[in-house]
Structure 1
Amino acid sequence: MATMLIKHMTSPLSLSLFVFLAFTNANAMLIKDMYSLCKETKDVNFCLKYIGTDTRILDANGLYDVLVIAISKCQDQVTNAAKQINEVRQKFNPVGTQQINFCLASYHVASKLFQKSWEYAHEDMDAAGAKASATDGANYMRQCEEEWKNGQIQKSPVTFYNTNVVKLLSIIQVIVSKIYGG
């Protein structure tokens, strides 16, 4: 049995897999570091669910990589909210249709701002700029949410996504403060 294990471990494929896993784990964000980061956020479980379980975290080499993941998650929320709006748009009266159009315009701007934020973080250029663009993107999403409170009150179809972005933004703020040693 031991001979078979040694023979298996010395095959080129097994050796390559072992080297890959060894180096991937050496550079990866440690689980304890991820948990420590999430403990500093407003919602630990949310952070662990959305950031800690993202498969890209295994390749994260530092806080800028985690920042990129958090910003990408914001972009996902914008995309999912726009899909949700398009799925439910026919259910609303004319006032609701105006609100939906306002939201789609706001989400279009938010998407561009999250893309700009992602570029800042992806290039390890400017964490503060990434945070500012993400904050602006979240504010556009928030404007959409507020629009549902104007005029004839109807339930917003995108509250879930807006709430997620607010929580992701709090994670982004923690990451940026850690990048700058705060």
Structure 2
Amino acid sequence: MASVFCCMAIIFQAISSFSFNGCNADAALIESICKESQDYNFCMSVVGNGPRAAAVDLHGFALVSISVTAIQIQDTLDEIPRLLQDLKDPLGQTRLRECQTDYNEALGNFQSAF
């Protein structure tokens, strides 16, 4: 779950700090954005590495971040039924179902943003 918030922070950093004017997000720019994230190594492994990283524009950088976040949200949603099955505390189940609702809403929002 922390990685989801890390990806969201990356997205918001990219959107709030730079205009999407079609310029290339060179390695130094990607690194500076990742340094602002909660998990530099994760950020660099997802969006900062690979042959296309230096050629992607900031719009593409944001799309990669949004896509990774949506995948992580879906992965979390996929785990909730198992957790609900194992959880015996009614209050805990209620809270987890509320989280499931929030995650479903977040997934829809990220899919729409993408």
**Residue 180 of structure 1: aligned partner:** none
Amino acid of the structure 2 residue aligned with 1:70: S
Q: Is the 8 A contact 1:78 1:107 kept in 2?
A: yes
The yes-or-no answer on 1:68 pairing with 2:67 is no
Superposition TM-score, scaled by structure 1 size: 0.42
**Residue 84 of structure 1: aligned partner:** 79
Structure number with greater Rg is: 1
Amino acid of the structure 1 residue aligned with 2:84: R
- The total of aligned residue pairs comes to 91
Question: CA shift at 1:108, angstroms?
Answer: 1.1
Amino acid of the structure 2 residue aligned with 1:110: A
**Residue 100 of structure 2: aligned partner:** 104
Change (3 A) 1:56 1:114: farther
Cα-to-partner distance string for 1:99-154 (whole Å, 9 max, x where unaligned): 22212211111111111222xxxxxxxxxxxxxxxxxxxxxxxxxxxxxxxxxxxx
Change (3 A) 1:29 1:102: same
SS of residue matched to 1:57: coil
Q: Aligned Cα RMSD in Å?
A: 2.7
Superposition TM-score, scaled by structure 2 size: 0.63
Structure 1, unpaired ranges of 5+? 1-27, 119-182
**Residue 9 of structure 2: aligned partner:** none
Instruction: Find 2:40's aligned residue among 44, 50, 58.
Output: 44
Identity %: 26
SS of residue matched to 2:53: helix
Amino acid of the structure 2 residue aligned with 1:31: A
